[in-house]
Copies of this chain bind each other. A is one copy, B any other.
Amino acid sequence: MLSSKKWIGAFLQESRISDLVLYFRSKIWVVRGAKLSHGSYVVIDWTGLRAAAAEAAKRAYAPYSRLRVGAAGLTADGRVVTGCNVENASFGLTLCAECGLVSALHATAPSPPPGPPGPALVAVAVVAGDGDALLPCGRCRQLLLEAGGAALLVDTAGGPVPLGELLPAAFDGADLSARRGPG
């Protein structure tokens, strides 16, 4: 469904645009190119990501809130990972859809990373059971930050925005390293 078609990436890079609407076999594909840290482009099929998130939302286990949520993310190496919310009778143990997505991001990696992993998520769509975009809660913004960095694009009702705009001035690993005590 998703692909990192090189010619589209090159075209986007050349043309300095980042959005592209494709008509293919009477379906509309809204694609967007995200510039990766290593300079290449990956094409984000937002329509496909939203559909994958909606499909995941159908599998949500949400007997307590009845708010079904699904999430789908595109990785820098072109994989799509998904998650749905899984609630618990002890409400505080509930796993959001983005928790599942971040878990799957690592657990389903094709091979164990050789060194410390860099940000791997490029784009994320989160939808409720009604099929429309739902904004991640604070916890999940923090989880996504560690998985994709501030440049990770998050879908919203008004279109994709960088995660850095949803979690500005974020606490992160640098704080942890710099501010910890001697022992």
Contacts and interface: CB of A to CB of B under 8 A. Distances in A.
A106 B171 contact: no
A88 to B, nearest CB: 5
- Chain A contact surface mostly: loop
Interface residues of A, number: 74
Nearest to A65: B91
Given A58-B112, A107-B104, A179-B67, A138 B134 contact: no
Interface in A43-64: 56, 58-64
A81 to B, nearest CB: 9
B173 A89 contact: yes
A142 interface: yes
A93 interface: yes
A166 B167 CA distance: 6
Given A139-B138, A139-B142, A156 B181 contact: no
Contact of A176 (B67, B138, B142, B173): B67
Interface in A107-121: 107-109, 112-113, 116-117
A181 B70 CA distance: 13
Interface in A74-133: 82-84, 86-96, 99-100, 102-109, 112-113, 116-117, 128-130, 132
A183 to B, nearest CB: 6
Given A88-B142, A90-B96, 8 more contacts: A59-B106, A93-B138, A100-B100, A128-B175, A129-B179, A135-B171, A138-B167, A138-B170
